[in-house]
Structures are given as structure tokens and as C-alpha cells.
Structure 1
Amino acid sequence: MSKRDYYEVLEVSKTATAEEIKKAYRKKAIQFHPDKNPGDKVAEEKFKEAAEAYEVLSDPDKRGRYDQFGHAGVGGASGAGGFGGAGMSMEDIFSHFGDIFGGGFGGFSGFGGGSRSRRHVNRGSDLRVKVKLTLKEIATGVEKKIKVKKYVACKSCNGTGAENGTSYTTCSTCNGSGVVTRVQQTILGAMQSTTTCPTCGGEGRIITSKCKECNGEGVRLEEEVITLNIPAGVADGMQLSMSGKGNAARHGGVNGDLLILIEEEEHPELLRDENDLIYNLLLDFSTAALGGSVEVPTIDGKAKVKIEPGTQPGKVLRLRGKGLPSVNRYGVGDLLVNVSVYIPESLNAEEKKMIEKLSGSENFKPTKSVKDKIFSKLKHMFD
């Protein structure tokens, strides 16, 4: 099932400001909040959908990639395998975006007295890799397996950093909440502020005995083979992402993302212009004059092209559908065959006599209409 447009999800225009996007998300999150819609799976999915849209549109870099490449640019390409969606859990949403509601909403404290912990949730760092692709791989999409060194959760302590995963105690400073609330008296009255607990760093607990395998970090450096399902139509410089495939977080939490930078290998004969491909066809003089049939390279083999008699240099032949697909599946580009004519650089005596004889014919002299056409093209180039 394809994803809805993120702007449509939040009901904002594509020119919406950061503040307008934030207000729109707040409205949607209140409307579909699970505490307000207990047991309503449809509301829960809409709540997650709004959070996913906000996570992309509130980040200038991700929003830019989304505007240019759609869901594929931010890990949401339909049918893209490992790139299929942000995969955000409810806990991820509350940990990432809880503060957007501020104290007036209790930091996602809920409706009707319900409560959710505001304990800080760690997030692992992102990983970045480069993947080189040929034009043929870009045309069809491709599966790549890469080996990366990354931090993974320690199996001995389940990523907690505590011996046996249980050697920790609740932080006495914040009583496990991860935050400290202070009330100050000012000339305007009592002012309340909430900050991250300085004792536990927002984790809500203190390790009493460190895990010997990871020395209390909760993560270990290991190699992992990751399968990348690259969608068709990607471009050089495009960045894809795989949610949760980055480094694991210290002491448990949310994994970072794996960011994949696309590098396009140069083709020996074809040039790329967005979704179109360009080939420079160098014809011999006789074929250009008399016409014929020639073969031109395509991504997946060869194609025959008919040359009409009297074909002029600069003529462009279009082979529809022989280009690259759009990454957003909006169609396929064309192969543009630019015709050039080869003029021999040296001639023997017999060849010179033949050319001199032909040059006397009126058919070998450019007409006024041909001159006008060439001048029009030249003028257009400098307009």
C-alpha cells in the first residue's frame, strides 16, 4: 500500500512554514492521541502517520529530500524493501515529539489523568555509506549486500549496560522520571520549569554493577551484512535511508538510521539528463545522404534506428521509453539520439576527384531554407 503525501497528511501546503507544520501536527496529534481514542486502531495509525509526516517535514534536510525525491528520498518508497517506512513505534513518537505540547498538555501526559513517562530515550547515531550503481542497475532497481561495522546492543545485558541486565536502581533525584521540576517565585507568580535530571542524564535509573562484556556501555562494535533494496530511478547524489539500521544507542533506546548516498558510474556511451539518456550517433556521409539502418546502444542492449535520406547533422531522433524510470514512478524517460556526420580528414587522389565532381551538382549546395534553419538554431542557442 502506497503512502499518502506527507503534506496531505498534515493538511498543509508545500510552502508551509515550520511553525505552520508544527501547529498542524499538534492539531492532528491531539485529535488522534491514543489516550483520547482508547482501543481505536484507526486513530492509532493516523497518530503514527501524522508523527511520521512531522518527523520528515520538520527537518529541513529531510524535507528537501522529500520535496525532490518523494518517499524514496526519506526511506518511504513503496516497494523499496528495506526503505519502506519510518517504522516508528508509539514509544519513539513520545520520546521524540513529546515536548511539542509543552507543560499545558503534560508532555503527552494524556487525557483524563492518564500518564506517560517522560524519561529520556537515547538515540544511536546514524551511519553513512556510499553505493555505486550502473545505469542498468538504476533502470531496474537492484539488491545490494553491504558489510558495515556498527554498534549493536550488547547481548549479555540486553543493551542496558548493567550486569545481567538488572543491576541498576531507580534514580533517587528524579524518582525514575528522567526529569526534574523546579518552581521559582517571581514577581509574576510561581514559574515552573522542567529540565533533564542531572544525576541520571534523563535515563531515570543508575547502574549499580556494570556489564563486563560492554563495560557498562550497553553496545558493542560488530560487523553486520545489510541488504539494500535500491528502487529504480535513483540519481547521483540522492540519499536514501533505512530506519533503525544505524548504531544502537547506549543503555538502550532507539537505533540510528543508515543513510545511503547514491553514486552513479559513468556509462561508456550514454549520457544522462534527468530521466532521459543521450547518445551521439556519428554517421558516415553516405548513410546520412542515402539513408539506411543503424544500431544504437541502449541500457539493456541494442536498438535499430532508421535513418532517412538527407538526414542533417544536429537532428535528434527520439526513442520513447528507452530512458530511465522516475523514482516516483511517474513515467519513463526517452533515449535521444543526436546525429552527427563524419567528414573524412584525408582523401586520396581518386576520392578527391569524386568529391570535386559531386560538388558541382546543385544538390550538394545548401539551399536558402537549410541556411535559414541552421541560423534559427544558432540564434536560439544564444537567446
Structure 2
Amino acid sequence: MSSEKESFYNVLGVSDTSTGEDIKKAYRKMSLKYHPDKNNGDLESVKMFQKISEAYEVLGDSQKRNEYDMMRKNPFMRMASGGPMSPGGIPFDQMDEFLSNIIFGGLGGMPFGAGGMPGGMPFGPGGMPFGHGGPNIRIFRNGVPMNFGNEKPQPITNTMTITMETVLNGGKIPVEIERWILENGNKIHEKQTLYVDIVKGIDNNEIIVLKDQGNVINDQCKGDVKIYIKIENDSEFQRRGLDLILEKRISLKDALCGFSFDLKYINGKVYTINNHAGNVIPPEYQKVIPNMGLTRDSHTGNLIIIFHIDFPEKMSLENIEILKNVL
């Protein structure tokens, strides 16, 4: 964020006098709107979703919100050459980005208090260094907590689209992410290929968390990667829990006289479905084939074939008489 117009409050569309409940409602509404799954993994939506999550992590926590408000309204910030400046030589129009970095550890090479403060020490009101009494404001230098705490970087989010065959069989799927590693005070960006374990029977919109695989501050402070699963159903089967549903249309003749058809399963195997003459299929009849659904842990669903009967729109009088004699 680079301007007051993009403060955490403006990101969530609330005022700085909003209650915690109002902020929570705004966060839920916006996170639902910009959730990657709702927008087919659109990059701008992912970025906005991260921004919303970042804003709520601060404003949704009363202590972090108080710190944030104090830093935004601190009276010791004063004018300096070239425009209004903070004590470390930071322009006011960059304050929200600066505050975000203080809270989340992303200063990216900008030493705190280095612009005009003796020795680069961060000073608060009255010339007292932060940490010497007063509010518990956390200070970062080049993205590293000066108290060497365990504040994790924000998670990297990504959307993975998988097929129904992958849902059936599971497996390892590669995904490429871009992360940064803090080295000597600088963020080194790199691309990394990770392998995601897809369990059998995984659900749409399920989130897989890869612990400590994201951005790296140091060996003890690593962020996570969150993978949002989107299932692309390219088969003729619908899913209901672990059950697979196949809707099959047959003619009235087939319903009365028997039928045979080939069924191509999700994994490509072909099965023949027979119904012998004399076994009448009523409309909306459901044939349950046990243990041919999806598996999750020790549970396996069924394959359910729902038969829809196509009745003729009209019949000749001759055929009607024939049916009367037969039925």
C-alpha cells in the first residue's frame, strides 16, 4: 500500500471509528468477494485477497489496531524538506506501507530510523527509544524483528486446478511459487517448485497448507504456502460427498424391454451395464453400485445411476391398441 487512500481501513471499506464487529463483517464480505476460488484464480483477485487478509490481521486484533492507529496519528511526525516526513525520513504518503512492514516484517532493505536519527535508533515521543516503556510497538529492521520474535511472514496463496481423475486416485502435483528469502538484510526473490500431496477424495475449495515453504526471514521464521483446490469436472459424473452420480436417459422401449450400454469410468475403464428383458425400469429409478464412488481415508462411496425415461410425445392408434393387448 502506498497512500492514505489505501490505508487498512480503506482496504476494508470502513472508517477508523468502526467497531470490531463492523470490521469483521466488512472482512467477511470482501474476502468472499475476492476469494481466489470465486474468481478462477485471477491474479488481481489473489492480490486483493492478500491485501484484505493483511488489513484484517491488523484491524481485527485490538492490540495491533491500537498500535497501527497510534503510528498513523502520532503527533511527533513533522514536516521535513520535500513534504511531510516521519522521524526516519519516510514520507507520509508511504506511511501505510511503512506501518504494514513494521507489523509484517517487510521493510525490504529500508533501515528504520536511518534518515536523520542519530545512530539510526528509532525514537518515540519525547526522544525516548521505542521499547523503553510505553506501548509495546514491535520494531523491524530490514524485515527482521529487532526482538528476534517468531512473527511469521504472510502466507503465499495459490490456486491449483485438478481433474476428477486426480480426485479419484490422488497423487503429487507440482506447483510453482515465487517467494523471497531474507539474506543480509535484502529480499532475494526466487521461483520454487513444490509438490502438493493430493489425497484421494479431496473436496472442492479445500485448502492445503504447506508449512514453512513460503517466504523466509530466517531458519526459525518461515511463512507457509496455502493452496486452494479447484476441481474441474471434465467427466459425466456428478459428485455428492463420496458418491458419484450418473444421470442416464433411456427410451420407454429400453425401460420395458431391457438394455445394455457401456459406461466409461473416471479412470478410463469401461464397464458394461445390462438390464435383462422383464426387469422394468420405472422413472427416476436409482441403481446403486457399491464401492464404486470416491474414497477418503477408510470410507468409500457408491456409484448411483439415476434413470430418466424418455416417453414418446404421441403414438398411433394402432400402437396404442397393441399396447393395450400387451399390458
Task: Give the TM-score taking structure 2 as reference length.
Answer: 0.50
Contact 1:122 / 1:253 at 8 angstroms: preserved in 2? no
Residue ranges of structure 2 left out of the alignment (5+ in a row): 1-146
Supply the distance in 2 between the matched residues of 1:139 and 1:262 (Cα, whole angstroms): 14
Give, in whole Å, the separation in 2 of the partners of 1:354 and 1:269.
38
The residue type equivalent to 1:320 in the other structure is P
The separation in 1 between residues aligned to 2:219 and 2:280, in whole angstroms, is: 73
Q: Secondary structure at the match of 1:139?
A: helix
Indicate conservation of the 8 Å contact 1:135/1:299, yes or no.
Answer: yes
- The code of the aligned residue for 1:133 comes to I
Residue in 2 that maps onto 1:24: none
Match of 1:294? Answer: 261
1:119 CA displacement? 4.6
Code of the residue aligned with 1:277 in structure 2: it is L
Structure 1 residue 362: deviation in Å? Answer: 6.4
| 2:164–2:235 Cα contact (<8 Å) kept | no
Q: Does 1:136 align with 2:100?
A: no
Determine if contact 2:235/2:266 at 8 Å carries over to the other structure. no
Deviations 1:197-232 (A, max 9, x none): xxxxxxxxxxxxxxxxxxx23x31111111212111
1:138 counterpart SS class? helix
Q: Find the partner of 1:256 among 210, 223, 243.
A: 223
Q: Compare the two structures and name the one with the higher strand fraction.
A: 2
Superposed displacement of residue 125, structure 1 = 2.0
Q: Distance in 1 between matches of 2:258 and 2:323?
A: 19
Q: How does 1:212-291 map to 2 (within 5 A)?
A: 216-217=185-186, 219-249=187-217, 253-291=220-258
Looking at structure 2, the residues matched to 142 and 344 of structure 1 have their Cα atoms a distance apart, in angstroms, of: 47
Q: CA deviation at 1:310?
A: 1.3
Give, in angstroms, the shift of residue 252 of structure 1: 5.7
Contact 1:242–1:259 (CA under 8 A) maintained in structure 2: yes
Higher relative contact order (CA 8 A, sep 6+): 1
Q: Which runs of 5+ in 1 are unaligned?
A: 1-117, 155-160, 162-215, 364-383
CA contact (8 A) 2:169 2:200 kept: yes
Structure 2 residue 293 is matched with structure 1 residue 323: yes
| Structure 1 residue 354, shift from structure 2 partner | 4.5
Question: Deviation of residue 290 (structure 1)?
Answer: 1.2
Equivalent of residue 314 in structure 1, options 276, 284, 303: 284
Q: Give the Å deviation of 1:338.
A: 0.3
Q: Does 1:361 align with 2:325?
A: yes
Q: Deviations over 1:328-366 (max 9, x none)?
A: x12211110001112234x6xxx6244322342362xxx
What do residues 95-122 of structure 1 show as CA deviations (whole Å, max 9, x unaligned)? xxxxxxxxxxxxxxxxxxxxxxx85234
Equivalent AA in structure 2 for residue 139 of structure 1: L
Separation in 2 of the partners of 1:344 and 1:140? 41
1:153–1:252: 8 Å Cα contact kept in structure 2?
no
CA RMSD across the alignment:
2.1
Separation in 2 of the partners of 1:268 and 1:120? 49
Structure 1 pair 357–255 and aligned structure 2 pair: CA distance change class (3 A): same
Corresponding letter in the other structure for 2:180: Y
Aligned length in residues: 178
CA offset at residue 275 of structure 1?
0.3
Specify the alignment match of 1:184 in structure 2. none
Q: What SS is found at the alignment partner of 1:339?
A: strand
1:186-205 equivalent positions in 2, closer than 5 A: none
